[in-house]
Amino acid sequence: MKTVYDFTVRDRAGKEVSLSEYRGKVLLIVNTATGCGFTPHYEPLEEMYKNLRDRGLEILDFPCNQFANQAPGTDDEIHEFCTLKFGTEFPQFAKIDVNGDGADPLYAFLASEKPFEGFGKGLKSAALKKFSDMNNKTFGDKAYIRWNFTKFLVDREGRVAARFEPTADMKDVRKAVEAAL
């Protein structure tokens, strides 16, 4: 059975990193953007990381510019923004594509394990669905991720346990992470 440990990704310097280095940890894998309405999610993510990393949490940050060009900078510019504005300390990897023919294989796997089930209810969810549908129609059946700040919770065995859309309450995300720890 395939797990996230079977994948290799690139760090900000372009070096290949095997996710097996995180074996035994609880992972929260997030595609991010610096110019998105959900960018303030960095704050509760960093708080969660500071409070829970000693218990075995790792947050893996993958910037992506496929959603309305909301992460246009270089890997270094994105990293500088995140560390200066939000004080992020969790690992940030090279910018990737999460949709289409060039989608990173990790993201195709994550989405196949926990497919999109909707943004939930409410005005914010309805508005995001409209933008998401417009943005992702070019990716067809390879529109794995619907927007920035989609989060995948991975258990200590490398299995995808949950998917949280950007509209999910960060308190609920934290509860799920704590339960997995």
CA atoms within 13 A on the CB side of 6: 11
Per residue in 55-105, pLDDT (tens digit) is: 999 999 999 999 988 898 898 999 999 999 999 999 999 999 999 999 999
Per residue in 117-138, pLDDT (tens digit) is: 989 888 888 888 888 888 888 8
- Catalytic: which of 36, 64, 98, 161? 36
- CATH placement of domain 4-180: 3.40.30.10
Which pLDDT belongs to residue 113?
Answer: 97
Which pLDDT belongs to residue 24?
Answer: 98
Q: Is 36 a catalytic site residue?
A: yes
pLDDT at 54 over 90: yes
Question: pTM for the full model?
Answer: 0.95
Q: What is the mean pLDDT of the chain?
A: 94
Which pLDDT belongs to residue 130?
Answer: 86
Structure token digits, residue 80: 């500088």
Maximum Cα interatomic distance, the chain, rounded to a whole number of Å = 42
Please state, in angstroms and rounded to a whole number, the distance separating the CA atoms of residues 13 and 75.
Answer: 8
Which pLDDT belongs to residue 123?
Answer: 81
Neighbours of 45 (CB within 10 A): 24
